[in-house]
Amino acid sequence: MTPDDLKFDAHGLIPAVVQDADTGEVLTLAYMNRESLQLTLGSGETWFWSRSRQALWHKGATSGNVQRVHEIRTDCDGDALLVRVRPAGPACHTGERSCFHRLLDLP
């Protein structure tokens, strides 16, 4: 499977689940466009497309908490990525290790 086989959505984006390759913890859900995927593949560190800022985003560029890519997996449809990484620090800007640190109240 190569990047050319992937399906990007109407906005040119593909969702990327980012997982700690060692602990299995899911760190964040972010989005890549073709350019950020190429930058990720070329550099070995995660690059995303920030939908709020409408800009390329090198994870950890300011915080130092870069994510080294261990492997990238895709699903049957080729319309989602699982990016397994070794993070240099917390994924969340709040300092939490994972962005998914809030529990939803179950009935």
Distance of CA 53 to the CA centre of its chain: 16
| Residue 10 binds a second copy (CB under 8 A) | no
Choose which of 15, 35, 61, 95 interacts with a second copy (CB under 8 A): 15
| Residue 26 binds a second copy (CB under 8 A) | yes
Nearer to a second copy, 24 or 64 (CB): 24
Number of residues interacting with a second copy: please give it, by CB under 8 A: 38
Which two three-digit tokens encode residue 99?
């962005």
Which two three-digit tokens encode residue 7?
């399906």
Which two three-digit tokens encode residue 73?
């997996």
Closest CA to 47 of 75, 13, 96, 8: 13
Instruction: Kindly report the number of other CB atoms within 10 A of residue 50's CB atom.
Output: 12
Positions in 64-83 near a second copy (CB under 8 A): 69, 71-76, 78, 80-82
Choose which of 41, 61, 89, 95 interacts with a second copy (CB under 8 A): 41
